[in-house]
Structure 1
Amino acid sequence: MSRYRLVFIAVILATALDPTLTWSQAQDRIDSLKRLLVRAPADTNRTRVLLKIGQQYYDQYKEGRKGRSHATMREIHFLLDSAINNSGRVVSQPVAANQLLQKAAALYLLAKCFSFGESYDSTRTFDYYQQALKAYQQLGDKPNAAEVLEDWADLVRLRVGAKMAIPLFMEELAIRQSYRDTTIYLTLERIGVLHQLMGNYQLALQAYLQSLRLAEQRNNLEYQLDIYGRLSDIYEIVSNYQRAIHFSLKRLHLIQIQGGGELLTMLAGQHNMLMTLYQKNHQVSQARKQALTVIELARQDPHHESFNLANFLAQSYVFLGQYELAERLYKHLLPYYEKLNILSGVVDFNKHVGEFYWLTRRYELAQYYYQKALAASQKGRFPDKTVSILRALFKIDSAQGHLRSALLHFQLATTINDSLFNQTKNRQFEELRTQYETEQKDKDIRLQKQQIQVLSQQQQLQNQQLQQDRLVRNSVGLGALMLLLLLGLTFNRYRLKQRSNQQLQHQHELLLAQQEQLQTQQTEIHHKNQHLQRLLDEKERLLKEIHHRVKNNLQVVMSLLNSQASYLSDRAALSAIQQSQHRLQAMALIHQKLYQAEGIARIPMADYIQEVVAYLRESYELPQPIGFDMQVEPIELDVIQAVPLGLIINEAITNALKYAFPKERSGTISVVFHWLRPTTFELRIADDGIGLPPDYDPAASRSLGMTLIEGFSQQLGGELSIGSQAGLTIVLTFSEHQLTALGSPTDYSYQ
């Protein structure tokens, strides 16, 4: 064994035996590693030393963050920069086959370094996580690959949201299942927590129950204690209080068996939970027993040193109606919870204080604490807690006579609750219901159009009747005038005039009645038009929801393809799966644009083409620089033309990235999309690569990419030309709404 390896092993042993060394001792250790690095040959030992130095800096940075304010973080930022620098040196240098493990660890370390708040870079972080995952999968190191996915998913959950983190957790679950990891129930619990946050209570419940079965097989009592609490919470949310009580009692039994330093607080907390559940299940006597038990336990802490125990005691006093004792405890606890950084604890405490002031009819204080709970709940993204808080604010506003504010809180609570309820539905049921409602709306729209036509005809008839009445009135007046002229007698003229006035008065009354009836009918037509507009708006929202779900389904398929690719070694199969993912991404972006846009059938092609090109550039990790020249005018297309055009762009750029620049040859790919005429467009994709072989005939090619480009060009009804001078140039000219038999204005299928 060489002297360098002996020194290296000695350093490693020193680190393992004393993990709580001060910074000066850590600096001495880093200096020793640096001296070893100077003398170490360029082999596996050198990469290990570099990686160890980077890890030491990273560990010291994490340790230094504890107890520091945000303003003083810059004082230790050099540690993180040093960790990034040393791990980056491992990644940048050529790596032999036996050094791939060190490179994977360095990529993983870089991902963790760039995930901190002051250095957070989403593009770099996600890229390094993906590279580390690929490296570990290439090595067949499934445990480390699962660990990378776990950290990555947690970061996505915090930075992006629970919805985007679930596919990563599912991929981690599949990897752990493949090598029969004995701690797989922990991953299932995390998946259940995300579903619960999103309101998918049925999926969360399934994950929790499956996790519980595995934990019981491993006889992990500590974890069972945690999962019993989660099951009790979710059954309480869905108002199945009997099952919630069942799991809460099981958790109480485990607490009594295990004991521990926090036994008193855990027992009081569990009895407090049972008090709440019994109260909601209308078992008042049982709830009272639990409250008295909490009071008895709290006597062992007379000075209220345990804030959690004091909080449980205050809730018991509220239930028993001992409001003065409860208020005294809440005032004692208030400074502690104002400094607490755990959002769920802040939400629950302010809810309890607000409920206390509601019961004592001090509505302004109740509203103040419920508003604090609402702000913390929205920040922590707890939709079920938000609903209950909004309903409480609705009751407070109603009691104070603030009807407008009460109505707003009630509408918000109903909207969030409906959203949570809809998310728990089965996908097939949702599709059938949506289809049924869409058909019903179409029928209602047709019926409304028929009614509008009937009302329009009635209005025309009424106008004709008015004209006839006007003609009759004029005729009567003319006849009376002629009669007066013929008779020439004053008395007869007076009587005729009196009779004519009576007739005119009667006709005037009829006209007034007809005008009033016409105004009523016009008002009805206006209301029906408004109702029709609401129906059209609702149909548009339904179509946006359909596009949203189609996009999500395409992303699920992409995730499944990605999971399948991790088990394949054949390059042709991997390439086919990757190209399928690119085509799915091109289609998914279309549907994403549709539900994000104001309209429901027009795609802004400039943004769309930029996103497709950016996605393909990131997907192909070419070692040489490839430039892109984008000249895209602000053109909007119908979805029936945007889908085949997007797939043509995907195929053309994919072929250029794969074949145009071999042997690390650099180059440029240009994408031009502009108007030739008011309704005619030209798409030009060119590269300055090696071009096509001299004997290559695109018309006779059996390549899937060329076949798809030809097919989609025919579907667009366009003229396609391919040239191979100083590279490859593809030119497509087409007009708006010139589709062939492969597509029609209502055909949204992907040919």
Structure 2
Amino acid sequence: MNTVRTILSCFLLLAGTGLVQGQDWGPVFNQILAADSICRTDPRKDPKPLFLPIIKKCQSDKNIEDEGYAWQYLAANIKNVTQALAFKAYCLQNALQIKKRLKDQQSEYNVLRNIADIHLQQDKLVQAESELLQITRPGSNASHDNLMYSCDLLAAVYIEKGSYQKALEYSLRSLKMMKTPADSANIITFHGRLSGICMVLGNVSESLSWSRKTLSYCLSKKKYSCVPQIRGTIVTGMIAQRNAGQALKFLKEHSSMGKFKIPDDQRLLNRQLGDCYSALHKTDKAEGAYEKMLWLIRHQNDFFPEYEVGYSYYRIGQFYMDTQRPQKAKIYLLSALSYFGVSSTTRYRQAVYALLFKADSTAGNFKSALKYYRLSKVMLDSVVNTDKNRKIEELLIAFHNEQKEKNIKQLKNEAAVERLRLKNAGYTRVWVAFGCGLLLLTIGMLIKHSRSVMKANILLKMKKQSLAISLHEKEWLLKEVHDRVKNNLQTIISLFESQAKYLSDEALTAIEVSQQRIYAMSLIHHQLYRSDDIRSIDLALYIPILAENLIRSFGVSGRIFPEFMISKVDIDISEAIPICLIINEAMTNAIKHAFTEQRQGKISILLEKNDGKIIIVIADNGIGLCLPDNAARSSSLGIELMRGLCADINGKLLFEISGGTRITISFESVKSSAGKQPAEPL
């Protein structure tokens, strides 16, 4: 039933990825998948209440396609126990009838194969054989998977029937059909079954060969959970070849593989150890290992399949017969027979009957011994037949010959490919030589070009260094000029201060105004001298120094307070002198005329830059500019000077008188590298 679920899951994957064209995976099918997901999440969940309502709805809607899937999924989720097999078969029979109505032949074969699997488990061997032969018959048009899995299942049926020749035939047939990488997932099952058949037929070396191939595959794919069973087959074969010592060594080397926390793996390990010690005549160690196995069977019986429990009892019974304890052996042999029942292989039932015959003969119970002898003889006749053994050998030889022919053909193909490769290698050498010559020529040209570029780069670097030195000297000289201009302006201010002692009030006032103007200009030259950039002035650094100096020079620090809302704005040196003189004039007018009669107040200066336009606002909260005419038309010297300076930089000058005086200067900056930044109070 795992096959059913796997196939349906593949259909789901293809539907989800859009690879199945023309299929409408509707809401009913999604309900089926949801029910299946619930059952897989909680294996103890009874699937009937989940699937039967869906089936009933499909029947009422006459949705036979989804009904067929529902029956298949229901069967796949029913536990694989004896009492549930009949209902599983019933579910699959319903699905089979639907597949026939839909004329979906491959799905029909798939369901039929799973029905045959159930009949095999129910020991309905004739019925299972008939169903599988329908799939494998010539002209059935069965798909690769249906044909391959049906042949393998037929081999299992014939093993149960004791027809080992046919079992071998179909086992080899299924093995031949493994071609694709996906088919290699069946190596464990197919090789294991073939190994078991060869062991039963007495071809131990062949059995070991297949078992070792299976073990190598498991180890390469890290399928360690399969190792204990395969390891046991190899150990049994080595003991049969009288290599018990090597078998024990092999067992110990591989005893760490597998999940030995699982009781069944521990049982297998103890049984295999017991078999090795028994063959080596180490009776005490063998009995100890078998007793550990018995303890597991008695205390954790639910973990083991009935057949495996029966085989374990059979091995203990055989051990006690080998050690001359027939009465004790009979107890375990009868237990083995009760677990084997009718569904076990003929070979092991025949072996149990043969041992019971020996046990009763030794005890003098000849009537019972005769009964067991007859049963053993009947089953032995079905297994051992000279003609059949000859045909079986022929089958194996034919299979190996076919494999050899395939290998020879493959080697011939490889040889042809090698000859072609050698032929092409000659052409390749010619092209490689030509390519190497062309490469050397290209490398030579590249080296020559590289040297020319290096020489040009050296000359360019030398010129750059010369220009850098020259530029540095010019910048230094320009800074020195600014410093000397600043010093000269300071000298002029000092001369004004000396001359002021001998001047009248009006002349003194004119001198003071001129001093402030000269200081404003000298401050620019001072900033340029201290700055790394001698082409521009940062107004955010300059304005606070100028304002503080003006307030300090007029002696109004205690009652007039500056307030700055300025952003970092760099302006060209050609704009710096006019701007600084405008700010100087505006603040001087505010200090002298806006706060009469010792009034307190503040002078606010706003500076910002927006899309290349610089805006400067000087505002006070004094009495305002009071002139006979409009302030914008005033002919006062300070205002006329501000207008003239503003015109020099192509700017606009605006006067506003409301609760004080507000002077706004706006102009397009020559230097527009600095972006707009939000104003912050300093």
**Category of TM-score, reference length = shorter chain:** 0.3 to 0.5
Higher relative contact order (CA 8 A, sep 6+): 2
Question: Which TM-score applies when normalising by structure 1?
Answer: 0.42
Bigger Rg over Cα: 2
Question: Which TM-score applies when normalising by structure 2?
Answer: 0.46
